[in-house]
Amino acid sequence: MLIPDLLQPLVLLLAVALLTPPLGAFIARVMSGQRTFLHPVLGPVERLVYRGLRLQPDREQAWTGYARSLLVFSLASVAGLYLLQRLQGLLPVNPDGFGAVDPYLALNTAVSFVTNTNWQNYLGEQTMSHLTQMAGLAVQNFVSAGVGLAVAIALIRGITRRRAETIGNFWVDLTRGVLFVLLPLSVLVASLLLARGVVQNFHGLREVATVAGAAQTLPGGPVASQEAIKELGTNGGGFYNANSAHPYENPDPITDFLEMLALLVIPFALTATYGKLVGSRRQGWAVFAAMAIIWAGMVTTAVVAEQAGNPIVARAGVDQAYAAGANAQSGGNMEGKETRFGIGASGSWAASTTGTSTGAVNSFHDSYTAIGGLATTAHMLLGEVSPGGVGTGLYGMLVFVLLAVFIAGLMVGRTPEWLGKKVQAREVKLAGLAILVMPTVVLLLTAVAAVVTAGLSSRLNLGPHGLTEILYAFASQTNNNGSAFAGLTGNTPFFNLTGSFAMWLGRYLPIVAVLAIAGSLAAKEKVPAGPGTFPTHTPLFVGLLVGVVLIVGALTFFPVLALGPIVEQLLQATGQVF
Amino acid sequence: MPKPQKLFEPTIVRGAIASAFGKLDPRVQVHNPVMFVVGIGSVLVTLRFLVNLLGGGGPGGISFTGQIALWLWFTVLFANFAEAMAEGRGKAQADELRKTRRDTTAQRLRDDGSTETVPASQLRAGDQVLVDAGEVIPGDGEVVEGIASVDESAITGESAPVIRESGGDRSAVTGGTKVLSDWIRVRITADPGRSFLDKMIALVEGAERQKTPNEIALSILLSVLTIIFLIAVVTLQPFAVYSGREADVVVLIALLVCLIPTTIGALLSAIGIAGMDRMVQHNVLAMSGRAVEAAGDVNTLLLDKTGTITLGNREATELIPLPGVEVDELVDAAQLSSLSDETPEGRSIVVLAKERYGLRGRELLERRAQFVPFTAQTRMSGADVDGRQVRKGAADAVVAWVKERGGTVPPELDPIVEGIARGGGTPLVVADGARPLGVVHLKDIVKGGMRDRFEQLRNMGIRTVMITGDNPLTAAAIASESGVDDFLAQATPERKMELIRAEQSGGKLIAMTGDGTNDAPALAQADVGVAMNTGTVAAKEAGNMVDLDSNPTKLIEIVEIGKQLLITRGSLTTFSIANDVAKYFAIIPALFAATYPALDKLNVLRLETPRSAVLSAVIFNALIIVALIPLALRGVRFRPVSATALLRRNLLIYGLGGIVLPFVGIKLIDLFINLVRLV
């Protein structure tokens, strides 16, 4: 069964690779202000937005101004979303009459959606009014992805410009990204999902009589529209608590494939945008390759581990092997997975959602085998760069490129150069800061939660698995992923507050560092490349880049992973449970 | 001049061992964040050892804790030793230099022209001194009057005396050198303590060492890594508590020390000092480490044709007679015209006449000959002998001279002259009175091996540009013969400057050599400006390096030393980080052996006991520093190949090797520890 299990992710990767050049080129055109086939329709809207904001689109900002605008926008978004949740009881489009959201939860949710995390400490269909979902959460799904895209484009401008003081205009980048990239793609994907049966209505909870005569409560809602941007914007916040495991969000294997494609396509396509804007497609493909290699490794690990099954169950003498014919069974660990997807589609989804900072799930990660769970946790702990979220993945990977260039540059005996820009103390300092934030926040908060009662009492499991649950929660939030291991009870003041803190720092400290790098690079002179500069588009460099990402991640998190999933697997082999 | 020393000169080693302890001073340690963390760890483990010792036992026991403490201290001491070794080698060189600075006295000129005798140390910039034959020049300065032969062997190691005279490009003198003949009046240009010798001593001793830009960037990266590992290890205690049992702090500290990049942290400053040393050993005095590093980044080398690419002088290689003229007649006239011509070109004609055409030299005086020297106006030289007027010179000048005397010029002359010029040579037409005889072919002789050097440079991504005052035709011919990438013909200081600016505006780094005062602006503008020690004070002050051998070809070695410096740092950083993989596999299972015996599966090396595993990792971590000191001092071998090839090679050796080696090393140490039952 392993071959078909792995065939699906292979087809998925091929589809992504096919879509990458055209979509990447389109995004490059849009973000550099060139006309596209959408301009006859959306051009007037864009101008209207600028007029409404009293904005001169050609007035560019220095990196400091860019960062200030971005932070002001994000803070205002958090405030707005918080108020919307607190006041939803008084506002319309609330068929089920939900009241104000608890203050801790409202803060966590506001930060969560503004930071593109979509960590959900609530049950969507039992907490949020349709107005909050549409005017609050869905809007943030668009703009938070737009912010990530803007930062990535600003960084690319920093690389390509020479002796420039500005790196673009935040408001223009945000507007263009949302209007020309995210909105049209969402309309397209939502239509396809609708066609496959994803619901889209304004109903509340409805009692229906089933065929068997029993009564059942069925939720409604504008799901398809939110589903599309949930994946495309690497957001991941489900309309329903069950997220993409819910049949109304993700009815069949075709929607499942489509949604996976949607969550991978923009982060991967941005590598082509990068290649096009720096004037060398091969640079883009090199980054694509590094991302794809890590992604494929994680998919394989997850699928193989799940198909291998649970060692405890194996000790009980249960046959977990795949079988066809009369005694047909999928084999492997099907606990927590939808039978309509199976291990291949669940494992690929799990690796894709954790690698893209999306966080949407179609299976229950807590129920994965220890090694399957390790793959999902580790994929986030690598820093969400394979391929990472919209924009965030690219700029995150480019920070690693910068570090790889620095080490490699020294090894060939020159002041390191990256696409003609010298990498010096300032860039190394900022890249170091950008990389330092995530491990620091994840490890410190996990350490605190692992010893205080407020942290320990939220666990579903004891022992190593419980530690993994806590680690996963902070890995997910700090990396702005948002997926949950789901064993942990997150809706407590302790986790709501620490989580908000993790999401905020994990998002904005690296963004400021990246924008500072962009500003610093933009101001530099461009050095022409020669045989003395080593190329950053060769298989050798791809290998080095993958190595740097894996080594940094592994060296940082090996101890805690050893005490979590690794020892769990080893103990399960001996039959020990907690 | 300092000569290359043995790597581990016993006297230097002894001094370095002593100073390794001296450097334990926290005020010294704090400058190196990585080793400072190790130092703090050593203190903490030592305290635990003392507590255990007094309490008759405790967590970790006495013997184990004591041995860990010992090896952590060794780690710090080894790092100090590495730095002290580099400094010691520099100091040894400095002492050599200092010997030349004997306490001299100077004859200072008073305003009224009389002299007074003062110690050299009292001289200030602007003072004028008189130096007679046999006296030592008391300080760096410029000859303002007189001419003298000077023995500069104290500075350059070159025993042949050189001429120093006022005006022109040979007016600079260096303190500590000795006047052999005649006398000179010198204007002192450096205050005491600021002379070349002083600067050189300070640089090689590391006293004036400032971190270079790439070193700063690397230090930042090492600090970031240290912080990450600090957090990873500090948070390990709560995780251990969660898992059921507190971890031994001694082992946690051991883990931290093993993970942070101690190998490169310990050797970083030694690498920098050693790089400076290598420059001095090549007789190059760099004004700053920054300049050494910039040398590694150079994109374009501007090389003067004369002296660098070609031997200093043109040589006659052929004599071409005109139709109807016997070769012997031409040889005879060419030799006659050159016998009293003391220019190298003239001498080469005499040599050619003798060696190729068998015509011996004659004494002009015997024949009552009168020598006619070359002047800029006539552009020819020759001799009047027995009523004959023999001349050789620039073609147009000699042709005009012949016509003046009613002679005719055969049409065959022009093609010969042009052919020689097109081939990069210089034609000299020889005439006897009104009769042109033929042409002397003067040729620039390209130094041996230059083509290969330029090929290597091209592989390294460095473009070479030849600078010459020749016409474009000649320049092109020599450029193609020597294999340079480009040339600047009919160069003037202004055009040289334009070229540098043009290259720099494209983001390139330029290196050049120069010696004349008119080179000074270009030397200052270039990123790496190497002034010849024979050059003027203005040139030396404008450049950021001085080549004491005054060998322009050395620019190539300077570039290699700059690159080697960076490669050594980068490679050891990669090695240091790659080492961590094996250390994790050694320590993590040992750390949680009691909590989770199942983790022993990760003990892939099958290390004997948890304690021997931890101790082995710590010992390996300390010993590898010592093992790599020679590499740090000598530098990773540099090969002039493309960046990709270099990267692949170094990644293989220091990356892959860095992962594999500690597995082997730790296993061997563990076997030894258990053989002699250390823990």
Q: What does each of the 578 residues of chain A score in pLDDT, given as a tens digit?
A: 567 788 999 999 999 999 999 999 999 999 999 999 999 999 999 999 999 989 898 899 999 999 999 999 999 999 999 999 999 999 988 888 899 999 999 999 999 999 999 998 888 778 888 899 888 998 999 999 999 999 999 999 999 999 999 999 999 999 999 999 999 999 999 999 999 999 998 887 888 888 888 888 888 888 898 899 999 999 988 888 889 999 999 999 999 999 999 999 999 999 999 999 999 999 999 999 999 999 999 999 999 999 998 888 888 888 888 888 888 888 889 989 998 998 999 999 999 999 999 989 999 999 999 999 999 999 999 999 999 999 999 999 999 999 999 998 889 888 888 998 989 999 999 999 999 999 999 999 999 999 999 889 888 888 999 999 999 999 999 999 998 887 788 889 999 999 999 999 999 999 999 999 999 999 998 887 776 678 899 999 999 999 999 999 999 999 999 999 999 999 988 888 87
Max intra-chain CA distance, chain A: 78
Give Cβ neighbours of residue B326 (< 8 Å, ≥ 6 apart): none
Q: Give whole-number Cα distances, A68 to A54, A121, A479, B329, B604, in Å.
A: 18, 29, 22, 89, 51
Peptide bond into B411 cis (omega under 30): no
Q: Which residues pair with B165 in a beta bridge?
A: B147
Q: Distance between CA A289 and CA A276 in Å, rounded?
A: 16
Contact B228 A555 (CB under 8 A): yes
Q: Distance between CA B12 and CA A557 in Å, rounded?
A: 43
Residue A393 · residue A357 · CB < 8 Å: yes
Q: By the CB < 8 Å criterion, does A414 face chain B?
A: yes
Q: Distance between CA A368 and CA A487 in Å, rounded?
A: 11
Q: Which pLDDT score is estimated for B367?
A: 62
Contact A450 B580 (CB under 8 A): no
Q: Which pLDDT score is estimated for B5?
A: 59
Q: Residue A401 is inside which H or E element, if any?
A: helix A392-411
Give the 3-state secondary structure of B20-39. Answer: HHHCCCHHHHCCCHHHHHHH
**Alpha helix ranges (H) inside A134-239:** 139-160, 170-176, 183-195, 223-232
- Other beta carbons less than 10 A from residue B42's beta carbon: 23
Q: By the CB < 8 Å criterion, does A208 face chain B?
A: no
Contact B571 A411 (CB under 8 A): yes
In Å, how far is A407's CA from the nearest CA of chain B?
A: 6
Q: Distance between CA A56 and CA A48 in Å, rounded?
A: 12
Q: Which residues pair with B319 in a beta bridge?
A: B440
Give Cβ neighbours of residue A392 (< 8 Å, ≥ 6 apart): A116, A148, A151, A152, A234, A357, A384, A480
Q: Which of A528, A530, A563 sits opposite B243 (nearest CB)?
A: A563
Q: Distance between CA B587 and CA B599 in Å, rounded?
A: 11
Contact A531 B235 (CB under 8 A): no
Q: Distance between CA B266 and CA B270 in Å, rounded?
A: 8
Residue A203 · residue A220 · CB < 8 Å: yes
Which residues of A are less than 8 Å from B646 in CB distance? 411-413, 534
Q: Which pLDDT score is estimated for B122?
A: 82
Closest Cα partner for A503 from A72, A63, A110, A70? A110
Q: By the CB < 8 Å criterion, does A570 face chain B?
A: yes
Q: Distance between CA A14 and CA A24 in Å, rounded?
A: 15
Q: Which of A424, A427, A540 sits opposite B647 (nearest CB)?
A: A540
Which backbone phi and psi does B162 adopt, to 5 degrees? Answer: -120, 160
Which residues of B are less than 8 Å from A531 in CB distance? 458-461, 642-643
Secondary structure class of A123 (helix, strand, coil): coil
Packed helices A539-561 and A463-478: angle between N→C axes, nearest 10 degrees: 130
Q: Residue A240 is inside which H or E element, if any?
A: none
Which residues of A are less than 8 Å from B293 in CB distance? 415
E-strand stretches of B72-174: 105-109, 115-119, 128-131, 141-151, 162-165, 172-173
CA angle, B438 then B440 then B444, to 5°: 160
Secondary structure class of A329 (helix, strand, coil): strand
Q: Give whole-number Cα distances, B94 to B13, B82, B196, B540, in Å.
A: 16, 18, 12, 21
Secondary structure class of B150 (helix, strand, coil): strand
In Å, how far is A568's CA from the nearest CA of chain B?
A: 9
Counted across chains A and B, CB pairs separated by less than 8 A come out at 208
Q: Using the 8-state DSSP alphabet, how is residue A578 labeled?
A: -
Q: Give whole-number Cα distances, A3 to A9, A300, A543, B116, in Å.
A: 11, 11, 26, 98
Residue A564 · residue A468 · CB < 8 Å: yes
In Å, how far is A435's CA from the nearest CA of chain B?
A: 9
Residue B391 · residue B380 · CB < 8 Å: yes
Using CB atoms and an 8 Å cut-off, which of residues 455-484 of chain A contact chain B?
456, 464, 467
Q: Distance between CA B59 and CA B253 in Å, rounded?
A: 14
Supply A110's token pair: 């506001």
Q: Distance between CA B486 and CA B465 in Å, rounded?
A: 5
Q: Is B304 a catalytic residue?
A: yes
Q: Distance between CA A396 and CA B38 in Å, rounded?
A: 31
Which backbone phi and psi does B343 adopt, to 5 degrees? Answer: -70, 155
Q: Residue A418 is inside which H or E element, if any?
A: strand A417-418
Residue A503 · residue A111 · CB < 8 Å: yes
Rg (CA), chain A: 23
Please identify which residue in the block is written with the tokens 């883009």.
Answer: A284
Q: Which residues pair with B187 in a beta bridge?
A: B128, B142
Secondary structure class of B314 (helix, strand, coil): strand
Q: Which of B231, B239, B463 sits opposite A467 (nearest CB)?
A: B239
Secondary structure class of B326 (helix, strand, coil): coil
- Residues lower than pLDDT 70 in chain B: 1-5, 97, 99-103, 154-160, 168-169, 196-197, 200, 203-209, 307, 312, 361-368, 376
